[in-house]
Chain A
Amino acid sequence: MDAVEPYLPLLWDGMKVTILVTVIGVAVSIPFSLILGMGRVSRYRLVRALCRTVAEFLRGTSVIVQLFWVFYALPLVIEYKFDPMAAATVVLGLNCGAYAAEAVRSALGSLPQGQHDAAVALGLSQRRFTWRILLPQTFPRMLPPFGTAAIDLMKASSVVGFVTVQDLTFRSDQVRAATGESLAVYGVVLVSYFAFALVISGLFRGLERIVAARHDGRSTRRRRVIMSRIGTA
């Protein structure tokens, strides 16, 4: 362990990169999964089919394969060399977003049919229905799978070292080569990833609680308003 100590700052640099990649990756994957998930339940068959194809395609190969292809093969076709960080975060975001899109799709499908019927009866446009009725009620159900997807993204980020992004895993390999202390190095690295995973799940659980409280608070307020109106009527 003493041999590793002088290299801890280097590992910490790697950790910071991992955190950055994860955060940006999640920032990409959540909107993408929402778009893809909503597309999967669209009224238009073409949109549904297109989104399904895109999702299958993105889920069909692993992150490392997609990363290599985007970073090494694609430039040969379109003659543009991607910035490693950009390529890494986009690929991670799209790949994990494709998986999360499934959870979005099932959350969207969990809304009782009656809600849509009521919206139609009130003459609400599809757009208003989606943003004011559908999403607010189904979003809480998407949070737990988003949390899982964020952790999966963190784990998947371990391969970005192969496209020259110097994350924690990349650094761990360097430090191991330098010190030969495989057990200590990888032990520390695994514990660091685990700690990060715990932080992520704690964050999402906190988010879930906030969203749940807001949901309840709003409906109680509305009920009180309605009750007072009925009382005076």
Chain B
Amino acid sequence: MWDWSYAADITPDLLRGLLLTFQITAMAFVVSVITGLVWAIAGRAPNRVVRGIVRLMLEFVRGTPLLVQLFLVYYVLPDYGIVLKASVTAVLVIGVHYSTYVAEAYRAGIESVPREQWEAARSLHLSPVRTWRAVVLPPAVRFAIPPIGSYLIQMYKETALLFAIGLPVLLAEARSAGGFSFRLLEPFTIAGLMYLAVSVPSSMLVSKLERRYDRAH
């Protein structure tokens, strides 16, 4: 039933897929962290209309399936003459999708800074820029790190979807390995274990971070 030599044969291919998974996850994470900050700042704009539009866009992107968003960008852009590599599309779509979650984490972090801290900064006549940089952002970002860490892990798992746009990520390699020989047990099991091997320790790490930062004040 379980063929060990076959398992050994396909493992190198699976590892290659895992490597691509890591690369795309890392780049998408960078996109999400930066874009999320843009959303968070835009969401505090004085103009009510701007705030409303930002909120609507965030809800829309966060409230619809990533897979459909992937398909949308992957198939629509070439119609308008923009031809991107599949990996670039993947990084952008996953990055922007999760930036909406990251933005929420930033917002919660900023709101976790007590009003009194803002008032102390004002009483010391610190400029708005300085107040953000020295007084508000450091504790806000610390507060936001554990949830952002868990979004990183989610992104890593969601890269599995990228097989649908032809990227040879871990799951795609598992499918193609199985496809050649119709032996699907080993590839899917090993792929599953590879995903677990990364995500379970990572989420334990994030839990430890949560406790260390003691966010439940």
Contact = CB atoms under 8 A, between A and B. Distances in A.
Interface of A: 56-57, 59-62, 64-66, 68-69, 72-73, 76-77, 151, 154-159, 162, 169, 172-173, 176, 182-183, 186-187, 189-190, 193-194, 197-198
Contacts of B200: 56-57, 60
A206 B79 CA distance: 42
Nearest to B67: A158
Contacts, number: 110
A61 B159 CA distance: 11
Contacts of B69: 190
Contact of B68 (A62, A66, A73, A193): A193
A189 B188 contact: no
Please report whether the interface of chain A is mostly helix, strand, loop or mixed according to DSSP. Answer: helix
Nearest to B196: A60
B119 interface: no
A183 B195 CA distance: 33
Contact of A186 (B72, B191, B203): B72
B72 A69 contact: no
Contacts of A182: 71-72, 75-76, 79
B189 interface: yes
B25 to A, nearest CB: 12
B171 A60 contact: no
| 4 cross-chain pairs, A with B, having the tightest CB-CB distances, nearest first | A158-B65, A182-B75, A186-B72, A62-B157
B66 A62 contact: no
A193 B199 contact: no
Interface string B63-102: 1111111011001100100000000000000000000000
